[in-house]
Amino acid sequence: MLKKKDKYVVAVVGATGAVGNEMIAVLEERKFPVEKLRLFASERSEGKTLQFEDSEIPVESLNEDSFKGIDIALFSAGAERSKIWAPIAAKSGCVVVDNSSQWRMDPEVPLVVPEVNAHDLKWHKGIIANPNCSTIQMVVALKPIHDAARIKRVVVTTFQAVSGTGKKAMDELLQQTTDMLNFREIKCNVYPHQIAFNVLPHIDKFLENGYTKEEMKMVNETKKIMGDESIRVTATTVRVPVFRGHSESVNIETEKKIMPNEVRSILSKAPGIVVYDAPEKNVYPLPIDVAGKDPVYVGRIREDESIDNGINMWVVSDNLRKGAALNAVQIAEELIK
């Protein structure tokens, strides 16, 4: 468990990646009480420096003793590394907030979105899982509706930015766009098909049931975070040529009838949400507008006229902020309260 202090020694593991960079920025912006920040990445990055507040901090590579004296470690270094290093960190007395898929469905590890289930932090054993980016923004919007009208079923289609794959994917989209506009040959390295001016209904590996791992993450994580196995969820996850910001078309069936105006009212009072919904004035959330911002934006709230108790809505959030780095830092803030 975390000892109460005025300031904490914090580590970022995977500090040189897109999410690691964002974690450092969010710690600084939110004035997290950092006594000392330590940065870790692969051997390739050793010796690089990254800025935090007014200091240039060297990047180190990990070893068995790296976590001694560290209070909180924010991990964004992929599942393989988390599998090895998170238990070592926890054994050293450090609390790990892990952004990979490694621990999310482990029954011993809480999977936390602070606006939804901060209470689950009480039973952590040294490792806390940060959910998938597309799940985080959806459950922030679902929870207040679930509390008011009990959700029975969710059908979600996502439109996910390339930054969800990482910096190499962002570079590939930029390069392919430039090459297309200059009539040059298109090269695909990160994705199996061209992403520029295209849409790929394929995120992560395909499973035997015909769904992708990303789709099943949304199904399973939603139930765990909401603490309700009875909610039925089905997902189609799609990669789109957007640099930053995931969008989702979310269809909800509730037990009790709830009207769009009630949904707007409930969501406008809920933490972490901005209702941005005036389609008659062309006002609805766009990834281009939410990039670099913290809230989950909800618009296009309307009744699903094909069923008795249905609501459709459009949910957009910055996948590197609320979908990853911000959520991890908010978990750390909850831990030190």
In a shared domain, residues 223 and 181: yes
Catalytic residue among 94, 124, 146, 246: 246
pLDDT at 29: 97
pLDDT class of 1 with cuts at 50, 70, 90: confident
Q: What is the pLDDT of residue 171?
A: 97
pLDDT digits (tens, 9 = 90+) for 233-281: 999 999 999 999 999 999 999 999 999 999 999 999 999 999 999 999 9
Whether 181 shows a pLDDT value over 90: the answer reads: yes
Q: Where are the beta strands (DSSP E) in 149-272?
A: 151-160, 232-239, 246-254
Asked if 254 and 311 touch (Cβ cutoff 8 Å), the reply is: yes
Q: How many CB atoms lie within 10 A of CB 227?
A: 13
Query: How does the average pLDDT of the chain come out, rounded?
Result: 97
113/159 same-domain check: no
pLDDT(200) > 80: yes
> Please, are residues 248 and 223 in contact by the beta-carbon 8 Å criterion?
no
The CATH number of the domain holding residue 68 is 3.40.50.720
Cα–Cα distance, 166 to 245 (Å, whole number): 13
Residue 131 pLDDT class (50, 70, 90 cuts): very high
- Residues found in the chain: 337
300, 153: one domain: yes
Question: Does residue 3 lie in a domain region?
Answer: no
Please state the domain count of the chain. 2
Please confirm, yes or no, whether 188 is among the known catalytic residues: no
Distance CA 150, CA 143 (A): 9
Write down the pLDDT at residue 3.
Answer: 85
DSSP label of 147: H
**DSSP one-letter code for 198:** -
Query: Based on the domain organization, do 114 and 140 belong to the same domain?
Result: no
In a domain, 274, yes or no: yes
Which two three-digit tokens encode residue 223?
A: 């139930």
- Residues 54-73 have a mean pLDDT of 96
CA distance 64 to 51: 25
Residue 59's pLDDT band (cuts 50, 70, 90): very high
Q: How do residues 316-334 score in pLDDT, each as one tens digit?
A: 999 999 999 999 999 999 9
* 178 & 293 share domain: yes
Tell me if 227 is assigned to some domain: yes
Domain that holds residue 44: 8-131+324-336
Q: Are residues 253 and 266 in the same domain?
A: yes
> Rounded to whole angstroms, how far apart are CA atoms 88 and 159?
36
Look at residue 229 in the predicted model and tell me its pLDDT.
97
160 & 251 share domain: yes
Predicted pLDDT of residue 254: 98
Beta bridge partners of 137: none
* Confidence (pTM): 0.96
Q: If pLDDT is split at 50, 70 and 90, which confidence band does 47 have?
A: confident
CATH label of the domain that carries residue 159: 3.30.360.10
Q: How confident is the model at residue 56 (pLDDT cuts 50, 70, 90)?
A: very high
For residues 206 and 218, state if they share a domain.
yes
| For residue 284, pLDDT beyond 90 | yes
Residues 82 and 184 in one domain: no
Q: What is the pLDDT of residue 173?
A: 98
Sign of the Cα pseudo-torsion (24, 196, 132, 272, in order):
positive
Domain annotation covers residue 2: no
Rounded mean pLDDT of 196-200?
A: 98
pLDDT in tens, 112-130: 999 999 999 999 999 999 9
41 within domain boundaries: yes
Is 246 tagged catalytic? Answer: yes
Q: Can you tell me the distance from the alpha carbon of 175 to that of 169, in angstroms, rounded to the nearest whole number? A: 10
Check 133, 146, 188, 202 and give the catalytic one. Answer: 133
Q: What is the pLDDT of residue 223?
A: 98
Q: How far apart (Å, rounded) are the C-alpha atoms in residues 61 and 43?
A: 5
**In a domain? residue 226:** yes
Domain identity same for 77 and 162: no
Q: How far apart are CA 121 and CA 125, in angstroms?
A: 9
User: Is residue 206 in a domain?
Assistant: yes
Do both 119 and 166 map to the same domain?
no
pLDDT of residue 261: 98
Query: Are residue 200 and residue 292 in the same domain, yes or no?
Result: yes
